[in-house]
């Protein structure tokens, strides 16, 4: 009886750790160009980004976050704080902060990682510093947290983005010395060669983001990213999908599969856009989808069906 009880206990503990990635992998860090876990082992994070918090607030629920972990097998989710648009953070800081914190709290409870994304295309330095100061103060002691400090700079130069990023990073590091910080690059995270030539120095655990939409961004962007990594730049794919960069158009499956294989080979983490029900190809849900997860086959759009399949297959393979 004792041996059986011990075996059952061991199985339950092992299952619990496996079910909660943060329990298994703990505090993340960057070694060279690779994201690694607390045991210095390479780690690849794969998951979903929620849509803009100001446009698709109904999915910012604890239940939806848990469903993405339990059913879609995400080991990371991304909470996208809409900053500038109507009903965004600049107009309604309390409402948007509540949505972001709901997802963060649920991710911590589920034991998965969570990217806190300042989802803006422009520099709002003081507002960004205030937001990340609050997030770092509330959650910086949790290894679940990843800060994405500038979603997609559009027309800003790299010196402008670098100056902004350095100030925001310093604000976070004054409170949270360890958790990963993701830095954007100009031209909607396409010009990764610019930070590769002139990276931010003086801080640890920084990674730089590349975004792709497979029907638009093809081999040229993979080659550009390969060159940046070869120069020593750590890269994280914090937004991606299979259609055109507009978010619409047909899914380019051959090119999307090339991206998936390439990221797998490079051990690059990636996030798919987005958990929303907008009438566009890149929104993974139909309007029939519940606010609280439990989504059935008919609730998923084509991109949702494909992304869920990829995530579940990767999770099964990594067991």
The two structure tokens encoding residue 265: 């080979």
Which residues share a beta bridge with 240?
Answer: 212, 272
Give the number of other CB atoms < 10 A from CB of residue 86: 10
> Which of these, 139, 137, 94, 131, lies nearest to 113 by C-alpha position?
139
List 110, 156, 239, 255, catalytic entry: 239
Counting beta carbons within 10 angstroms of the beta carbon of residue 53, is it exposed (0 to 12), middle (13 to 18) or buried (19 or more)?
A: buried
CA distances from 66 to 25, 167, 290 (A): 19, 34, 13
Question: Minimal CA–CA distance to 183: which of 167, 206, 163?
Answer: 206
Compute the Cα dihedral for 20, 22, 26, 28 and give only its sign: positive
Q: How far apart are CA 89 and CA 96, in angstroms?
A: 6
152 belongs to the catalytic site: yes
Distance between CA 319 and CA 316 in Å, rounded? 5
- 279: which 2 tokens? 């009438």
From the list 110, 148, 152, 156, the catalytic residue is 152
DSSP annotation of 233 reads -
304 contact partners, CB below 8 Å, separation of at least 6:
284, 285, 295
Name the nearest CA neighbour of 217 among 256, 169, 159, 267.
Answer: 256
To the query of whether residue 255 is one of the catalytic residues in this protein, the response is no
Catalytic site positions? 152, 239
């Amino acid at each position: 009886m004792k041996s059986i009880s011990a075996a059952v206990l061991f199985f339950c503990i092992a299952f619990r750790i496996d079910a909660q990635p943060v329990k298994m992998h703990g505090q993340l860090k960057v070694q060279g160009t690779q994201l690694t876990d607390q045991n210095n082992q390479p780690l690849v994070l794969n998951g979903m980004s929620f849509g803009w918090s100001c446009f698709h607030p109904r999915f910012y629920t604890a239940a939806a976050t848990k469903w993405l972990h339990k059913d879609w097998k995400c080991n990371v989710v991304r909470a996208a704080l809409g900053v500038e648009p109507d009903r965004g953070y600049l107009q309604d800081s309390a409402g948007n902060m509540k949505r972001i914190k709901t997802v963060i709290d649920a991710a911590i409870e589920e034991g998965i990682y969570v990217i806190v994304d300042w989802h803006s295309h422009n520099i709002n330095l003081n507002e960004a510093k205030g937001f990340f100061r609050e997030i770092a103060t509330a959650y910086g002691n949790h290894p679940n947290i990843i800060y994405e400090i500038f979603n997609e700079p559009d027309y800003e130069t790299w010196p402008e983005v670098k100056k902004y990023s350095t100030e925001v990073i310093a604000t976070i590091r004054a409170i949270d010395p360890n958790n990963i910080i993701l830095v954007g690059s100009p031209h909607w995270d396409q010009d990764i060669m610019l930070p590769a030539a002139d990276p931010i120095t003086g801080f640890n655990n920084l990674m730089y983001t590349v975004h792709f939409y497979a029907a638009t961004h093809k081999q040229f962007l993979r080659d550009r990213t390969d060159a940046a990594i070869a120069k020593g730049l750590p890269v994280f794919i914090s937004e991606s999908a299979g259609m055109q960069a507009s978010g619409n158009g047909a899914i380019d499956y051959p090119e999307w599969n090339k991206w998936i294989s390439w990221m797998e080979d490079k051990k690059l983490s990636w996030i798919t856009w987005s958990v929303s029900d907008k009438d566009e190809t890149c929104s993974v849900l139909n309007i029939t989808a519940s606010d609280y997860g439990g989504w059935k086959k008919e609730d998923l759009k084509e991109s949702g069906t494909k992304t869920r399949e990829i995530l579940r297959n990767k999770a099964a393979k990594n067991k």
